[in-house]
Amino acid sequence: MKHCTVSCDTPTGVLECELDLPDDATIDAAITAARGRLGEDRADWECAATGVFGRVQPRSHVPLDGDRIELYRPLTIDPRASRRLRAQLGADKRS
């Protein structure tokens, strides 16, 4: 058995649960188990990108004991565009 944390980013905040999984369990198996605990409507369980400790991994990946499995939600704004806008606003204030 291995112990993992499943974390999903939702519009209302990050939700987490701790799971004990078989040694050969995949990310998909962990997400299926977490779905029952965290609630059906809390995340895009079927389509969201997944990863381990901030690195995108396929659902077929077998996480290690102690890994933090993450379910990501799509970005609402492009981070580069946001930085450019902030830089432009800062430049306008200095002028």
- Give pLDDT tens digits for 3-24: 999 999 877 888 999 999 999 9
Please name the residues in contact with 69: beta carbons below 8 A apart, sequence gap of 6 or more: 4, 5, 6, 7, 27, 30, 31, 34, 50, 51, 52, 63
Confidence (pLDDT) at 43: 82
Of 22-26, 27-31, 89-93, the range with the lowest mean pLDDT is 89-93
Q: How many CB atoms lie within 10 A of CB 39?
A: 13
Confidence (pLDDT) at 82: 86
pTM: 0.76
Render pLDDT for 48-90 as a digit per residue (tens, 0 to 9): 899 999 999 999 999 999 999 999 887 778 888 888 888 888 7
First to last CA, the chain: 61
CB 6 within 8 A of CB 34: yes
* 50-52, strands of its sheet edge to edge: 13-21, 2-10, 68-71, 50-52, 55-56
